[in-house]
Amino acid sequence: MATERLSMRKTREILRLKWLERRSHREAARSLGVSAGVVGETLRRAKLAALDWAQVEALSETALEARLYPSEAADRDRPLPNCEWIHTERRRPGVTLALLHLEYLERHPNGYRYTQFCEAYRRWLAGRRLTMRQVHRAGEKLFVDYAGQKPHLTDPHTGELRDVELFVAALGASNYTYAEATLSQKLPDWIGSHVRAFAFLGGVPTALVPDQLKSGVTQPCRYEPGPQRTYAEMARHYGAVILPARPAAPRDKAKVEVAVQVAERWILARLRNQVFFTLPEINERIAELNDDLNARKMRLYGASRRELFDQLDRPALKPLPAERFVYGEWSFARVHLDYHIQVEHHFYSVPFRLFRERVEARLTATTLEVFHGGERVASHPRSFARGRHTTDPNHMPVAHREHLEWSPARFIHWAAALGPNIRTLVEAILADRPHPEMGYRACLGILQMKHRYGPERLDAACARALHIRARSSRSVASILKAGLDRQPLPEPASTPASLPLFHENVRGGDYYNDPSEKPPC
């Protein structure tokens, strides 16, 4: 090649400058635009070949190259590796270039060494179209995307057409394809399509390669995209990793780009004259066409997608987990003063020690979970009652928990254990209030006085309070403070004598009548 002849010309010129002109390494390198190391390496090879200037001048470029680089000259007679075979075999799980090189040497003992073997394969790849640069190993990647063309449903009453989405997933090694219609590209539909795709495949690939749509990636970036929280959680559940394609880089997901194109041609195009009223109805037909698509033989591979899937991808897929992923949405919340957080217009309790802390909430169709610092701190059944509260007593402070456990019967029981008059006063206080809970504080205040005055004095004070019809803890406290509980109760007053009906000081009703208004006799 021209570059090789130029190299030999430079080699010859290096030897001339050194042997005839007696130039230094730096001067020769600067003259030819090479490094001083190249000059030194050329002289070393010439000495190993036992050449002098007269021999160099007499040799042709090909002969000079053979003398200076004998191993490379011998390489021309070695059999080249079959790069198509290498490219196909690399898709099998566990197959590496090192293994393929060993198998190549078994057939050609005088073949290329490992470095030149790999270089020959890379040069072959460079001469192919760019999409061939990706090596898709069996069971490694599942490429997912939505089709640009949309199927549609028909309203049975109005005949109006409603566009829906077509989700497409394709395995890298076998091109095995899954397609389904969904109402939208929103997160619940996005996650649900993945779960159904894994069930269709009967296993889980190592990696998921989505486009950087909002349902999959919350922080689009060429270098470090941030997967959406629920999407990442689903991937962890199935033991997969998410490798988003670069923005505006369709070559990163060429497999699904082609799969989408094929699905549009062999699925959507065949639905164009059919009418569907519901999503299950259209998905039933899509499933039939999808099976037909996977059974079609591909001319490039000489086999169908299903045959390649059974041969390559199916054995390499990881098994499905015991349970399906349960969809849940994540959100942040601040713990309120009453140690509750608000999620979807309902209030759920968390441990009171997290007051004012920022927590994460995961809401599923049946459950609400609360996390703080990566640790689950609360779990409640989901409630759809707007503005209501769901409270776990274990989340409450001790004082609040005890207050929650209060009841009229409990206060009466406590009072009866101290004395009959205490019980009677507590019953009177609870009965006197419009709602019993309004008397809890007064009853509690009375019961607490036993610690300072003792049950006997407290019972006597309650008896006096009942006598004077007092219904507050302050009245009982005043009696005890003044020592009135130690004094006997006053005798009840006697019944007053009845007044006479006629007396000189008793005026009759007629006294207040105006004589001028009396009727005539």
**Three-state secondary structure readout of 106-124:** HHCCCCCCHHHHHHHHHHH
Closest to 370 (Cα-Cα) out of 405, 336, 397, 324: 336
Per-residue pLDDT of 474-507, as tens digits, reads 999 999 999 988 888 877 655 555 555 555 665 6
**Cα angle 318, 323, 329; round to 5:** 105
Q: Would you say domain 141-316 falls under CATH 3.30.420.10?
A: yes
CA of residue 72 relative to chain centroid, distance: 55
pTM: 0.52
Q: Which two tokens stand for residue 293?
A: 């698509």
Which single residue is written with the structure tokens 């057939």?
107
List all residues 6 or more positions away from 307 whose beta carbon is below 8 Å from its beta carbon.
none
Average pLDDT, rounded, for the chain: 81
By residue count, the chain amounts to 521
Closest to 464 (Cα-Cα) out of 411, 434, 419, 413: 419
Q: What is the pLDDT of residue 25?
A: 86
Whole-angstrom distance, CA of residue 269 vs CA of residue 151 = 9
Judge contact between 469 and 478, C-beta under 8 A: no
Per-residue pLDDT of 307-364, as tens digits, reads 989 988 899 999 999 988 888 888 899 998 878 999 988 999 999 888 889 999 998 8
Does residue 221 have a pLDDT over 50? Answer: no
Whole-angstrom distance, CA of residue 168 vs CA of residue 475 = 79
| Residues 206-219, mean pLDDT to the nearest whole number | 69
Per-residue pLDDT of 364-398, as tens digits, reads 888 899 999 888 999 999 998 888 888 888 888 87
Per-residue pLDDT of 125-164, as tens digits, reads 776 644 444 567 888 888 888 888 889 999 888 889 899 9
Per-residue pLDDT of 231-282, as tens digits, reads 888 888 998 888 876 554 555 456 667 888 888 888 888 888 889 999 999 9
Which single residue is written with the structure tokens 């987990």?
321
Does residue 428 have a pLDDT over 70? Answer: yes
Judge contact between 204 and 289, C-beta under 8 A: no
Whole-angstrom distance, CA of residue 82 vs CA of residue 420 = 105
- Per-residue confidence at 521, pLDDT binned at 50, 70, 90? very low
Closest to 316 (Cα-Cα) out of 135, 150, 174: 174
Per-residue pLDDT of 288-313, as tens digits, reads 999 999 998 887 778 898 998 998 88
Domain boundaries, the chain: 2-75, 83-133, 141-316, 329-396, 406-486
Does residue 413 have a pLDDT over 60? Answer: yes
- Tell me the CA distances in angstroms from 275 to 184, 242, 278, 289, 474, one per residue in order: 19, 37, 10, 15, 81
